[in-house]
Structure 1
Amino acid sequence: MSKRNVDVVVISDVHLGTYGCHAKELLKYLKSIKPKRIILNGDIIDIWQFSKRYWPESHMKVIRKLMKFVSEGVQVHYLTGNHDEMLRKFDGMEMGTFQLQNKLILDLDGKKGWFFHGDVFDVTMQHSKWLAKLGAVGYDTLILINSCVNWMLTTLGHEKMSFSKRIKGKFKDAVKFINSFEQTAAELAIEKGYDYVVCGHIHQAEKREIITDGGSVTYLNSGDWVESLTALEYHDKQWTVFKYDHQDFVKDEIEDGILSDADDLKSKLDINILLQSIKYEIAQ
């Protein structure tokens, strides 16, 4: 399998350990690239919802692949997010080419990039963490139900649909929050003199120039591996948004023996485990 050379890859909001995580797709993507540096920009392992009852082999394979990158000398930066915030007290820890940090500043071909997860802009996180955690459980359940519906839709030859995107689209406050998030990140980056500001958190992949009275900055967001299945790539002095397309990886899937969509869905559909998990999370 030929691998693409990439200077920097930014991945966020993988949420390993939850039903909505698309670990097998992420694994196929990681196997398809040859990066010099990987930035894991928060919420990679969902410690909020982590449970020994649900940790599929595909999730473990993602961890092994990342560890393999480290053993091969690839720079791997793990930036903490809100779902893995308990790791923030270990800020600055280094192990070989692996670094655990809360934020990162990089010089990329003479331009400064500012990388951080972005939950600092979320008012819910700051004042009502219990509500945010409850919402995370509800979101994970919604994603699982959506997976069932999409499996039926594809079986019948119809296109997939996203429940959460439809819900977000119908609520002006959700759109308003995303716009406010991007604007705030841009304004702070311009104030600090950065050329790029790179976030995650809102599960909305983006690349655009934001201009304010104070100047301009390139705003980038890596999206997520729950619904969008996106990452950011920097190569030949250019940033691009990578969007996973199943058709691009069919051959590799057969060769590697990765679970099919139907098999993967089946592994998620133990309703007793799901109900126990929801009950457990609400009780915390």
Structure 2
Amino acid sequence: MNVQPHRPFRYRTIWISDFHLGTRRAQTELLLDFLRHTESDTLYLVGDVIDNWALKKRWYWTQTHNDVIQKILRKARKGTKVIYIPGNHDDYFRDFAEARFGRICVKLEAMHTTASGRRYLVMHGDKFDGVVRYAKWLAVLGDRAYGLSIIINSVFNRVRRLFGLPYWSLSAYLKYKVKRAVEFVSRFEDALVHEARRQGADGVICGHVHTPQMRDIGGVHYCNDGDWVESCTALVETFAGTLEIIRWTRMDPLATNPEVQIPISEFVAPVTETELLEPAAAR
């Protein structure tokens, strides 16, 4: 069977974050598939691209991790403006804030203006996470527990693949069901909204908590682009200036050449709690 190349989905702007390259839990194949089948004028990398915390403990780096970096560099060479905002797991790169490497610019935060004229504060968001800011040892301990949950999640999804089912995040499901986790995310959202309002922005775009979301909070548009460990989501801006969240669930199993793989994607604007929790096979 001949598989024809799929025309890339074109956007004005794309925001992606929390790849955690350097860990086994990084969904690099899905991320590569997304990068191969999307194009944008501007690409924001909203932190935790490379997981320095994990690499300090144990070196793990496969060819697909290299491929992700090379694909982003190739996009920049071909004209995409790339803005890199380091997070807490790749905070070493904050030393290069305001530096430019060709069409790649490193910033601590940015102000993005959409095609419709709305202004969005863009930041990773970890400075509004009290655990990361004031008790890093607790954050590291939590990160290890989180890593264990992702290992369990990986086994869970191997079983799903045996039945021909797409990737589904068990860890994201648990996050939405645990009361204390829900309360933490709510406080995090409120803090970022307050900062956006203080800076006179119409909205805020962040990552960090691995919880894709897009909703109005007190007149401020809160957007979280999710991650490429659990949810495999991205935030995109159309050329009309509207924002959407894309969930990239799997690649076409019949495609053998990665350059012509056809993605099966779900367009969600916004991603609702029900859609995040319910397995794709049940929808």
Deviation at 1:160, TM superposition (A): 6.1
Deviation at 1:38, TM superposition (A): 0.3
Deviation at 1:134, TM superposition (A): 2.3
**What amino acid maps onto 1:3 in structure 2?**
P
**Structure 2 stretches lacking a partner, 5+ long:** 262-283
Matched, 1:242 2:249: no
Deviation at 1:53, TM superposition (A): 3.6
Matched, 1:27 2:32: yes
**What amino acid maps onto 1:45 in structure 2?**
I
Match of 2:50 among 45, 49, 59: 45
Matched, 1:147 2:154: yes
1:272 corresponds to: none
Match of 1:86 among 69, 87, 92: 92
Deviation at 1:157, TM superposition (A): 6.0
**Contact kept? 1:24, 1:258, Cα under 8 Å:** no
What's the TM-score once normalised by structure 1's chain length?
0.83
2:279 corresponds to: none
Q: Distance in 1 between matches of 2:157 and 2:23?
A: 18
- Residue by residue, what CA displacement relative to the aligned partner does 1:112-153 show, whole Å, maximum 9, x if unpaired? 111000001111111211121122223223212321122124
Matched, 1:9 2:11: no
Specify the SS of the correspondent of 1:228: coil
Distance 1:190 1:245, change over 3 A: same
**Contact kept? 1:111, 1:195, Cα under 8 Å:** yes
- Between the two proteins, the alignment pairs up a number of residues equal to 253
Distance 1:154 1:86, change over 3 A: same
**Contact kept? 2:14, 2:236, Cα under 8 Å:** yes
Deviation at 1:163, TM superposition (A): 3.9
Specify the SS of the correspondent of 2:229: coil
Distance 1:171 1:75, change over 3 A: same
Q: Distance in 1 between matches of 2:146 and 2:260?
A: 26
Deviation at 1:37, TM superposition (A): 0.5
Deviation at 1:165, TM superposition (A): 2.9
Q: Distance in 2 between matches of 1:159 and 1:231?
A: 18
**What amino acid maps onto 1:237 in structure 2?**
G
1:226 corresponds to: 229
**Contact kept? 2:196, 2:203, Cα under 8 Å:** yes
Distance 1:34 1:167, change over 3 A: closer
Q: Bigger shift: 134-143 or 165-174?
A: 165-174
Deviation at 1:192, TM superposition (A): 1.9
Q: Distance in 1 between matches of 2:223 and 2:255?
A: 30
Quote the sequence identity (%).
Answer: 33
Deviation at 1:258, TM superposition (A): 9.8
1:70 corresponds to: 76
Specify the SS of the correspondent of 1:64: helix
2:258 corresponds to: 256
Match of 2:213 among 203, 206, 228: 206
**What amino acid maps onto 2:205 in structure 1?**
V
Deviation at 1:168, TM superposition (A): 2.4
Moved over 3 A (4+): 156-163
Deviation at 1:251, TM superposition (A): 6.5
What's the TM-score once normalised by structure 2's chain length?
0.83
1:113 corresponds to: 120
Q: Bigger shift: 163-172 or 184-193?
A: 163-172
Specify the SS of the correspondent of 1:164: helix
What is the RMSD of the two structures over their aligned residues, measured on CA atoms?
2.1
Q: Distance in 2 between matches of 1:41 and 1:86?
A: 14
Matched, 1:57 2:60: no
- Bigger helix fraction: 1
Q: Distance in 1 between matches of 2:22 and 2:191?
A: 30
Q: Bigger shift: 128-137 or 4-13?
A: 128-137
Specify the SS of the correspondent of 1:26: helix
Q: Distance in 2 between matches of 1:253 and 1:57?
A: 20
Distance 1:252 1:139, change over 3 A: same
